[in-house]
């Protein structure tokens, strides 16, 4: 599966079946165990809404325009707004000044 380094944002493939505790980013050598757990959780919760996974990834990477667009699509596809409001994966996005307005509009539609 593919990981994106939390420290330097380099994307890289990891082999299936390896020990995630031993993972390190190939570009900056930052430990990636927490990143692995995070990515797997995102994949699990967003299996029915691939655009939600896109939103989480974009939010984490600071691409808030992309994150809001992807999240809007996921919500239109039936994604639960409450999950997005409470999801730690979207914490950076919730700090964006557009977030309160976004939630208000999503809740009203
Ligand atoms: Zn890195």
| Centre of ligand 1 from the C-alpha of residue 22, in Å | 14
User: Over the stretch 57-67, which tens digit does the pLDDT of each residue have?
Assistant: 999 999 999 99
| Centre of ligand 1 from the C-alpha of residue 41, in Å | 20
| Centre of ligand 1 from the C-alpha of residue 2, in Å | 13
Q: Kindly state the DSSP code that residue 67 receives in the 8-state scheme.
A: H
Label residue 70 exposed, middle or buried (CB < 10 Å: 0-12, 13-18, 19+). Answer: buried
User: Over the stretch 55-101, which tens digit does the pLDDT of each residue have?
Assistant: 999 999 999 999 999 999 999 888 888 878 888 889 899 999 999 99
Label residue 4 exposed, middle or buried (CB < 10 Å: 0-12, 13-18, 19+). Answer: middle
Phi, psi of 90, rounded to the nearest 5 degrees = -105, 15
| Centre of ligand 1 from the C-alpha of residue 30, in Å | 6
What does the alpha-carbon distance between residue 71 and residue 90 come to, in Å, rounded to a whole number? Answer: 10
| Centre of ligand 1 from the C-alpha of residue 71, in Å | 26
User: Over the stretch 27-58, which tens digit does the pLDDT of each residue have?
Assistant: 999 988 888 877 777 765 655 688 988 999 99
- Report field, pTM of the whole predicted structure over 0.85: no
């Amino acid at each position: 599966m593919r990981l994106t380094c939390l420290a330097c944002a380099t994307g890289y493939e990891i082999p299936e079946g390896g020990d995630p505790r031993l993972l390190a980013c190939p570009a900056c050598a930052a430990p990636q165990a927490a990143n692995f757990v995070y990515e797997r959780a995102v994949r699990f919760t967003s299996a029915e809404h691939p655009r939600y996974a896109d939103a989480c990834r974009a939010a984490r990477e600071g691409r808030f325009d992309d994150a809001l667009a992807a999240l809007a699509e996921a919500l239109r596809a039936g994604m639960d707004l409450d999950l997005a409001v409470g999801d730690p994966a979207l914490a950076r996005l919730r700090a964006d000044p557009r977030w309160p307005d976004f939630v208000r509009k999503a809740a009203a539609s």
